[in-house]
A = this chain, B = another copy of it.
Amino acid sequence: MKITKEEILKFEKLYRATFINSIAGFKSANLIGTISSEGKTNLAIFNSVIHVGANPPALGFLMRPVSVERHTYENIKKTGSFTINHINKEIYKQAHQTSGRYDKDISEFDECGLTAEYSKTISAPYVKQSIVKIGLNYIEEYEIKYNGTIFIIGEIAEIILHGEIIGKDGFINIEDAGTIAISGLDSYHETKRMSRLSYAKPGVEPDEI
């Protein structure tokens, strides 16, 4: 069936949000940890983290203009750092709970049963229960004129993970780390690798590696 933009615009608001949020495909499942200048920690779930570059190493994520995520934004702008922590099978319910509208004085770490952990490199808190944790320094942001969302870019300062999930070629087996995927706003998925494929060359069928 075909659904046009005009039909989408006529959908009931919550139905439309659920529908459009499912359409991009599977999404990364991460917790972004920050701290305010007064030392209050904040933790929020994000499904929009993407790769920006390998050299220098950088990630980005898209943030809604006014939302529960605003504490994350304010903290990043004030302190200049944030952490990205993979959500795994053991903590996805706690991670989901961070999307509740908690007051600024309340730490989602405490309220959702997750533990803050610190490194000397940056001030932002990591999630102890995550197997893959990334510390980043804020680089720049772009406000998307079209709808006011903000694309934020951070440079990787350090990565904390279990060494055994790093393969000989540098591939990190995030499936072995229990990392999950998200679809829509609230659906959590474990994964099963079908295969890795060799570098594509015109006229040559890719091999499983």
- Are the C-beta atoms of B195 and A188 separated by less than 8 Å? yes
Stoichiometry, copies per complex: 2
How many interface residues does A have (CB within 8 Å)?
114
Find A171's partner among B22, B146, B166 (CB 8 Å cutoff): B22
Q: How far is the CA of A180 from the CA of B58 in the complex (A)?
A: 25
Taking the closest CB of chain B, its distance from the CB of A116, in whole angstroms, is 17
Q: A residues within 8 Å of B by Cβ?
A: 1-5, 8-9, 11, 13-30, 47-60, 62, 84, 86-87, 89, 92-93, 96-102, 106, 111, 119, 121, 132, 134, 139-140, 142, 144-147, 149, 151, 153, 155-163, 166, 169-175, 179-181, 183-184, 186-206, 209
A interface majority secondary structure: mixed
Shortest Cβ gap from A25 to chain B (Å):
3
- Looking at the assembled complex, report how far the CB atom of A8 sits from the nearest CB atom of chain B, in whole angstroms: 5
A100 touches B22 (CB 8 A): no
A53–B149 touching, CB < 8 Å: yes
The answer to whether A175 and B170 have CB atoms under 8 Å apart is no
